[in-house]
Amino acid sequence: MYAIIETKGRQFKVAPGDVILADKMALEPGDSVTIDRVLLLSGDDGNLRVGNPTVAGARATATVVEHGRGKKIIVFRFKAKSNYRRKTGHRQDFTKLRIDEIVG
């Protein structure tokens, strides 16, 4: 069984037991969160339910594992012939979620 869920504008293909890195949420590690935006749901029997835009009555429950920051990316801005160069870095905050169950 797997599902495609949406949280904070990003979509993830998840199955029970999967760990995903979602955008930072205001929850403590160990807290449980219910995600109601299930866009697609596939059962064990191969039955596929596609939402319009979401599957009615479907939800996924997850547990917050930890918070963290992603890998640093370098942002370099450059304009030719004008001696303009700016180098900055960015690290995105994330919340690690473990999918406990998917209810259809």
Question: What pTM was computed for the model?
Answer: 0.83
Number of residues that make up the chain: 104
Residue 104 has pLDDT above 90, yes or no: no
DSSP designation for 92: -
Quick one: average pLDDT of 45-62? 92
Per-residue tokens: 28: 């403590």
Show the DSSP H helices in 2-73 as ranges: none
Looking at the structure of the chain, the number of domains it has is 1
Residues 36-48: pLDDT tens digits? Answer: 999 999 988 888 9
Give the percent of the chain with pLDDT over 90: 92
Contacts by 10-14, CB closer than 8 A, 24 or more apart = 11/39, 14/60, 14/99, 14/102
Pairing of strands 48-50, 59-69: unpaired
Question: Domain range spanning residue 22?
Answer: 2-103
